[in-house]
Amino acid sequence: MQKANKIFINIHGHRQANNIQEWVMMNLMAKDYPPEDIENGYYSVGYHPYNVGKVDDEDTLKKVRLSTENLNVFAIGEIGLDKSIEAPLEHQMRVFESQVEIAEFADLPVILHVVKAFNELVEFMKVHKPVVPMIIHGYNGSSQMAETLLNSGFLLSFGEAIAKEHSKIVESLLTVPVDKLFFETDEGDLDIREIYHFAAEVKGISLDHLRVQIYENARTHLTRFADLF
């Protein structure tokens, strides 16, 4: 493993690291667990909202629970709420709540997929007060909503949208303190190092400063990541 000041943390990707400086947590749908290469990478595993109503809840949640026993699984996710799909929100919420309970039992962070349901997520935090880190991946909302989410206890991860000159995303990135940030490639084409470069320019800080801070964020919020060093 590279030294801390050489690592670019990629909190959410769909492929293995493509350079020696990258550390990536790959997303894996629970229905596909375990992959053949489970011992050759680091994963988040979750029952995605897209699959709600298409797979058996009990069997899929059992896979999520089982995955936490593998030390290469670093988070539960991506899980969450999505109002753009047909699955009833009530069903999605039941599945979501069950997985947050699994995450808390395993002391693992949660990677969140949220579409048009930030208000419901904020209300969930008020009512349930989860004690594990809750990380919203691929954030692309307003700076006002970013502030609300931060005040509710969420962490935010940004992807390649920050490189596309969307003023809303840039304003949101400026709103988020560096100790509440993560970055990701998701399914995009940009190298994680390019995303860090754009973010450092937006934040007006050095690339090295940003890189080391995100490393420290990973050590703080990803329990099993800290055990690697």
| Rounded-to-integer distance, Cα 137 and Cα 25, Å | 12
Strands 134-136 and 110-115: parallel
The pLDDT assigned to 30 comes to 97
- Do 104 and 134 form a contact (C-beta atoms < 8 A)? no
Residues 36-82 pLDDT 10s: 888 999 999 999 999 999 999 999 999 999 999 999 999 999 999 99
Q: Give residue 5's pLDDT.
A: 55
Q: Look at residue 226 in the predicted model and tell me its pLDDT.
A: 86
Residue 151 burial by CB count (10 A; 0-12/13-18/19+): exposed, middle or buried?
A: exposed
Q: How far apart are CA 77 and CA 113, in angstroms?
A: 8
The pTM assigned to this predicted structure is 0.95
Is the pLDDT reported for residue 3 higher than 90?
Answer: no
Q: Provide the pLDDT for residue 1.
A: 46
Average pLDDT, the chain: 94
pLDDT, position 83: 97
pLDDT at 168: 84
Quick one: pLDDT at residue 164? Answer: 81
d(CA 159, CA 146): 15
- Output the pLDDT for position 167: 75
Contact 23, 7 (CB under 8 A): yes
pLDDT, one tens digit per residue, over 113-157 is 999 999 999 999 999 999 999 999 999 999 999 999 999 999 999
| CATH no. of 4-226 | 3.20.20.140
Contact residues for 65 (Cβ-Cβ < 8 A; gap 6+) = 102
* pLDDT at residue 219 is higher than 60: yes
